[in-house]
Structure 1
Amino acid sequence: MLTHGIINAQLAHALAGLRHKDRFVISDAGLPVQPGIEIIDLAVVLGVPTFEEVLDALKGELVLEEGLMAEEARGTVAEQWVKDRFEVPLSYVPHDGDEGFKANVEGVRFVIRTGETTPYANVIFRCGVPF
């Protein structure tokens, strides 16, 4: 049995499969996800686990090169949670629409669903490389 790091088997397996330029989502409890995209559902009840807790758990596990959030998240606590933990450039698009955040979820490797209920607590990360 693992003694540290990610112990959720589905999440650990998905993270180990990420490669440079792959994208994945950390989402709140309500983000709609298109059929065919793997959902790693960590939500137990509303609020558990929080978006922050999942960001904290992933912080030391990944090399990231970019993040994407909804324009509506700019200036919110959700944006600050991401900025406090990851030193990556963030881009913004409207939450809805043909070029919006929800549309950008298409093609990601997986979505990590949290129990978060804070509006716009969603981020799409693009992986970097450690060398």
Structure 2
Amino acid sequence: MENQSCVKIATEWDIVAARQLGRNAAKELGFGQVDQARITTAISELARNIYLYAGQGQIGIDFLEGNGRKGLKIIAEDNGLGIQDIRKVMEDGFSTSGGLGAGLPGVKRLMDKFEITSEVGVGTKIQAVKWLR
């Protein structure tokens, strides 16, 4: 059951489109309203980061199924400058944009699984999974 939907992120409107895609996918899979909001918020943060720091990239959403569980995987990818210090951006309160700094640590808390890989000068890939309870 892995059919990936994708939204290219290049404008602020693309962030809205990615949120909507995520909410629809979460609803379709049977997530309750609270988890739909968590997933949508995580997508919003990831898409906003792509827009602010990389200029463009994409958000993909996969349906997962295995071991009697169903879930959604969000993949945020860009070819931006990359993240120099992943540990630092994963600290609560850290922000380079003057925002609240809830960004990536917030996404990690909202989701069940969170993985980040980044190479300076190459780009960043973040995968986050939410399992249906």
When normalised by structure 1's length, the TM-score is 0.32
* Greater strand proportion: 2
Higher relative contact order, chain-length normalized (CA < 8 Å, sep 6+): 1
TM-score, length-scaled by structure 2: 0.32
